[in-house]
Each structure stands twice: as structure tokens, then as C-alpha cells.
């Protein structure tokens, strides 16, 4: 059941037009949200940009789908998340992970700019 939900989320992300998934935020856990939310709010409210927020958190509820300018997705850890990272087509991915490329999560084969958000 869990893999099916993640697959539906992945497919919904892929179906977005490229302009709606040009800026992608990734939070591994709910603790990352505290650092990413101000950036997301600024882009949506002040700059009228549309952003995607992808999380691997299993227990925290997703942000409301009705919020304009924000597309939220849950892709938990596993092979699908690894595939998501490797095949990501976006202009920018913002994340708090410093070890990208060291373990199972690799950079995309497509030209994506990665932005690290300091979070300690």
C-alpha cells in the first residue's frame, strides 16, 4: 500500500508542467520544514512563484492542497525515492542534506542546481 501511495505521488509530480516544478524543496523529515518553510512562503507570497515540496516524512500530514502556489508530495525512502532524485527534472532543488551523492541519493542526470540550506 505504501509503495502505491508513493508511486501516485511520483506520477502526480511528473504530470506537473515544467514551470510548476522548476523549484523543488526536499525535506527528509519534519525537522527540515522549520528551515524550508520561510523560503517557501517568501517565494509563494512575495514573488508569486509556484514551488514543489517533496518529503520523505512518514507521519506528518501533508500541507493543505488548497494553498495556491504549493504542490506537496510524499515519496518515502526506498527505490522510488532514489529514482526520483536521479531522474529529477527541475531548475533548482533546495535541501538540507549535505551528503547528496554519498549514499543512495544521487544527483540527477539532468542539469539541476542544488541549494544547501544550513540548518543547525
Under-70 pLDDT residues of the chain: 1, 60-66, 120
Specify the pLDDT at position 29.
Answer: 85
Specify the pLDDT at position 64.
Answer: 60
Specify the pLDDT at position 69.
Answer: 93
Q: What is the pTM of this model?
A: 0.91
Q: Say if CB 47 and CB 70 are below 8 A apart.
A: no
Q: In sequence order, which residues have a C-beta less than 8 Å from that of residue 15 and are 6 or more positions away?
A: none
What residues form DSSP beta bridges with 72? 53
For CA atoms 31, 34, 40, 41, the dihedral sign is positive
- pLDDT tens by residue, 46-75: 999 999 999 998 876 666 666 889 999 999
What residues form DSSP beta bridges with 26? 54, 95
Specify the pLDDT at position 63.
Answer: 64
Amino acid at each position: 500500500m505504501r509503495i502505491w501511495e508513493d508511486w501516485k505521488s511520483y506520477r502526480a509530480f511528473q504530470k506537473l508542467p515544467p514551470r510548476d516544478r522548476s523549484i523543488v524543496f526536499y525535506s527528509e523529515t519534519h525537522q527540515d520544514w522549520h528551515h524550508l518553510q520561510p523560503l517557501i512562503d517568501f517565494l509563494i507570497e512575495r514573488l508569486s512563484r509556484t514551488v514543489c515540496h517533496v518529503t520523505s516524512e512518514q507521519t506528518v500530514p501533508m500541507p493543505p492542497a488548497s494553498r495556491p502556489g504549493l504542490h506537496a508530495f510524499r515519496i518515502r525512502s526506498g527505490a522510488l525515492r532514489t529514482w526520483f532524485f536521479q531522474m529529477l527534472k527541475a531548475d533548482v532543488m533546495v535541501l538540507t542534506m549535505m551528503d547528496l551523492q554519498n549514499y543512495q541519493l544521487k544527483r540527477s542526470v539532468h542539469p539541476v542546481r542544488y541549494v544547501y540550506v544550513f540548518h543547525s
